[in-house]
Chains A and B, each alone.
Chain A
Amino acid sequence: MGTNETRWDFGAGEHAARVEADGFEKGESLWRDAWHRLGRNRGAIWSLRVLVLVVVLATLAPLLPLPSPMALDLQDEPQPPVLPFADPGNHGFTPEARRQFEDAWEPGGFDRALIAARVKLFGTYQTGHWLGTDSKGRDLLARILWGSRVSLLVALSAGLCSLLIGVTYGAFSGYMGGWVDNLMMRFVDVLYSVPFVFVVIFLVTVLAEFRVERIASDGTTQLLTLEEAYGIDKMLVFFVVIGAIFWLTMARVVRGQVLSLKNSEFIEAARVIGASTPRILFVHLVPNVLSVVIVYLTLTIPSIMLFEAFLSFLGLGVEPPRVSWGLLAVDTTEAINPVKTFWWLVAWPSLAMGSTLLALNLLGDGLRDALDPKMKGSK
């Protein structure tokens, strides 16, 4: 024991030389197999394309020659869409408009760089209102694209949260079993029973009303909001709450899967070899539950986006002048009135949100079929 000498020699060098000459046989992993099967599923592939398009458009929104999403163009009522080929465009994206937008919106460094690039590319040119304007004369296309960024960001961060926290928590809980499992899952149950909408309302109220005393440099006492004092703003609360909700179900799903896997023989084989607990968790268990996790994730992201829209709709999430798909829905409600229907205010945001959610659901469905080991090798 303890020495690194090999007790038996099967002639390793000789084999190695031969294998080097022959090369490898390439095996097809289950992931690759699943990918091929997904490729044959038309609906899933088109959904994937739509999602890639949405993500690219959302990311590159500042680069596109769109009107500013907050530039008011006060008219009596929302303006209908202008067909793109009939659109002469204008030169409304003046340095003045740009500065106004950047001051109010406070875009990050990446976005500022994109806006600078846009000015380089297109100058002051901006398109007309291809999808029409809302009641305050703001360009709907710009608002949908800028709004999609918030929705996608929330979905991404909550998805990542549920992936990192949920999978690790659930896998650990399930693998340890016994009282550890019991304790960890009861904690999840407790979090589950918290009515999160009320928590958001509570936190937002605290944020608005609570004041911290602080002695300024000149000796006077100041009352600061939490945002001024600690940088806790509404968006942060919003992200934390959404992150806190959506890992719970993931933890449960993963735990259930791990429970059914942890007594299988390949896990016992790893234990006999002497693999450590983290190794068993992340090398043996997690890759085998990952297919379920991926499917579950693609089906959760729509509900995260809907929850975001719901909170914003209630005025608890994103605040004007920023925009998200939930706030667009608020505008939509204004558009539904018995006197005159501004159909574009209903149609375009619904189409954007609906098609994204549909694509996610179709992709999730396709992934479930593709990753199902029972489908291996079949069409």
Chain B
Amino acid sequence: MSQATHTTPLIEVRELRKWFPIHKGIIQRHVGDVKAVDGVSFDVFPGETLSLVGESGCGKTTAARTLLRLYEPTAGSAIYHPKGEAAVDLFSLGAREMRRWRRDLSIIFQDPYESLNPRMSVGQIVGEGLLVHRVVPKRQIDDRVASLLERVGLRAETRNRYPHEFSGGQRQRIGIARALALEPRFIVCDEAVSALDVSIQAQVVNILKDLQAEMGLSYLFIAHDLSIVKYISDRIAVMYLGRIVELGTTREIFEEPQHPYTKALLSAVPVPDPTHRPERILLTGDVPSPIDPPSGCHFRTRCPFAEDRCREAYPELTQLTETHTVSCHLMDGTVTDTQDAPAVSDELA
């Protein structure tokens, strides 16, 4: 798919912050914040898939859910460019105004068992958006639901059945049909295939890709399985402890990773080759607490190349190419230590 960098973005996220306050004691004194997302900026272009990757707890899900206003953002902006209308900042809208734009934004969840209301029939679940937004007259909802179900590979006759009568993969497709019902332009896929087994994963990923090609959807794809990410993404953003450390096209991230964390992450991908001798970059220690992140570069406590200056200031974003940015002190050209880093990426590519 095209690297739509010259067109207007669909959504511009700037300095998104989501802090969860911690209260303690009887009087609920505010003692600190979990800085789940701490200043994240990215663009999503029409028709592209942007993946957010990173280990669990790095804030990728929080970032996506805050973008959809499932959590109230602490700071930042998210400029949405609707078709034929003036741009709006999703973060400054009231709940009522936000409801109007919800038609264009959607989400597919990780757990297909948790994400469908067990008391509603499939038809009611998929048709709810149509009912809420009065998109079509009530009599036509049923027809629309039927066609949506067929589109995701379920038989339309099953729409009076209930979620518990379906398998995990089928349920996930019901979730996709629900996400599609309002004809959105942007869909968050929050670990949308992680809970499925491998053969079903492939089916669902292919449905997602087909739908994208057919309707020009944009995806914000959250996953930890890098092989799927590589298959589906146009661009990839690597997150660590609430910030994006590297962002580039899929080729740039997989073939020329620059940030030490990206390299470590990529080196953990298994290679289906018995003669392959992995040169793992093993990270030591745990992810630091997002309540009290390390000074300077958040990654310095586990970085094999950390220097003194890494503890002083958070590294600015360095623009490597038009599409490739990285946030690391070692990228400013004064030091060439990174050349010593194990060249795992070549074997992966």
Q: Which residues of A line the B interface, CB within 8 A?
A: 1, 4, 6-8, 10-13, 15-16, 18-19, 22-31, 264-266, 268-276, 279, 283-284, 287-288, 373, 376
Q: Which residues of A lie under 8 Å from residue B164 when comparing CB positions?
A: 30, 376
Q: Which of B77-95 contact A (CB under 8 A)?
A: 82-85
Question: Among A6, A279, A376, which residue has the most Cβ atoms of chain B within 10 A?
Answer: A6
Q: Which residues of B lie under 8 Å from residue A269 when comparing CB positions?
A: 107, 109, 115-116, 175, 178
Number of contact residues on B: which range applies? 35 or more
Query: Which of A19, A272, A288 lies in contact with B105, CB distance below 8 A?
Result: A272
Q: Which residues of A lie under 8 Å from residue B101 when comparing CB positions?
A: 1
B107→A268 contact, CB < 8 A: yes
A12→B157 contact, CB < 8 A: no
Query: Which of B103, B128, B148, B159 lies in contact with A10, CB distance below 8 A?
Result: B148
A6→B144 contact, CB < 8 A: yes
B199 to chain A, nearest CB (A): 24
Q: Which residues of B lie under 8 Å from residue A268 when comparing CB positions?
A: 65, 70, 107, 109, 115
Query: Which of B129, B157, B175, B214 lies in contact with A274, CB distance below 8 A?
Result: B129
Q: Which residues of B lie under 8 Å from residue A273 when comparing CB positions?
A: 102, 128-129, 132, 178, 182
Stretch at the interface among B8-16, B135-143, B284-292: B135-143
How far, in whole Å, are A270 and B109 apart by their CA atoms in the complex?
A: 12
Q: Which residues of A lie under 8 Å from residue B103 when comparing CB positions?
A: 1, 274
B183→A8 contact, CB < 8 A: yes
How far, in whole Å, are A274 and B178 apart by their CA atoms in the complex?
A: 13
A29→B121 contact, CB < 8 A: yes
Interface membership of B238, Cβ < 8 A: no
B107→A27 contact, CB < 8 A: no
How far, in whole Å, are A237 and B2 apart by their CA atoms in the complex?
A: 75
Query: Which of B115, B150, B156, B160 lies in contact with A27, CB distance below 8 A?
Result: B160
Q: Which residues of B lie under 8 Å from residue A8 when comparing CB positions?
A: 183, 214-215
Q: Which of B136-174 contact A (CB under 8 A)?
A: 136, 140, 142-144, 146-148, 150-151, 155-162, 164-165
A258 to chain B, nearest CB (A): 14
How far, in whole Å, are A30 and B116 apart by their CA atoms in the complex?
A: 13
The 4 closest A-B CB pairs, nearest first, are A27-B161, A274-B102, A10-B147, A265-B115
Interface membership of B119, Cβ < 8 A: yes
Query: Which of A28, A276, A288 lies in contact with B119, CB distance below 8 A?
Result: A288
How far, in whole Å, are A297 and B109 apart by their CA atoms in the complex?
A: 35
- The 29 sampled A-B contact pairs (Cβ below 8 Å) are A1-B100, A1-B101, A4-B136, A7-B183, A7-B215, A8-B183, A12-B140, A13-B143, A16-B146, A24-B157, A24-B160, A25-B155, A25-B157, A25-B160, A28-B165, A29-B119, A265-B109, A265-B110, A266-B116, A269-B107, A269-B109, A272-B106, A273-B128, A273-B178, A274-B103, A275-B132, A276-B132, A288-B118, A376-B164
A378 to chain B, nearest CB (A): 13
- B180 and chain A: residue at smallest CB distance: A8
Q: Given that A269-B178, A272-B107 are contacting pairs, would A30 and B119 also be in contact in the complex, using a CB cutoff of 8 Å?
A: yes
How far, in whole Å, are A274 and B82 apart by their CA atoms in the complex?
A: 17
Interface membership of B328, Cβ < 8 A: no
A4→B70 contact, CB < 8 A: no
How far, in whole Å, are A15 and B123 apart by their CA atoms in the complex?
A: 14
A288→B117 contact, CB < 8 A: yes
A1→B150 contact, CB < 8 A: no
Q: Which residues of A lie under 8 Å from residue B100 when comparing CB positions?
A: 1, 274
- B144 and chain A: residue at smallest CB distance: A12
Q: Which residues of A lie under 8 Å from residue B104 when comparing CB positions?
A: 1
Q: Which residues of A lie under 8 Å from residue B128 when comparing CB positions?
A: 270, 273, 275
A284→B162 contact, CB < 8 A: no
B348 to chain A, nearest CB (A): 33
Q: Which residues of A lie under 8 Å from residue B309 when comparing CB positions?
A: none
- A27 and chain B: residue at smallest CB distance: B161
How far, in whole Å, are A376 and B162 apart by their CA atoms in the complex?
A: 13
How far, in whole Å, are A24 and B106 apart by their CA atoms in the complex?
A: 28
Interface membership of B133, Cβ < 8 A: yes
Question: Among B151, B156, B178, which residue has the most Cβ atoms of chain A within 10 A?
Answer: B156
B156→A266 contact, CB < 8 A: no
Query: Which of A6, A13, A27, A28 lies in contact with B136, CB distance below 8 A?
Result: A6
Q: Which residues of A lie under 8 Å from residue B105 when comparing CB positions?
A: 272
Interface membership of B256, Cβ < 8 A: no
A6→B109 contact, CB < 8 A: no
How far, in whole Å, are A287 and B120 apart by their CA atoms in the complex?
A: 9
Query: Which of A22, A25, A31, A272 lies in contact with B102, CB distance below 8 A?
Result: A272
Q: Given known contacts A15-B156, A19-B146, A30-B164, what 9 new A-B pairs fall within 8 Å (CB)?
A: A6-B136, A12-B143, A12-B147, A265-B115, A272-B102, A273-B129, A276-B99, A284-B120, A373-B118
Interface membership of B111, Cβ < 8 A: yes
A284 to chain B, nearest CB (A): 6
How far, in whole Å, are A265 and B115 apart by their CA atoms in the complex?
A: 4
How far, in whole Å, are A276 and B133 apart by their CA atoms in the complex?
A: 10
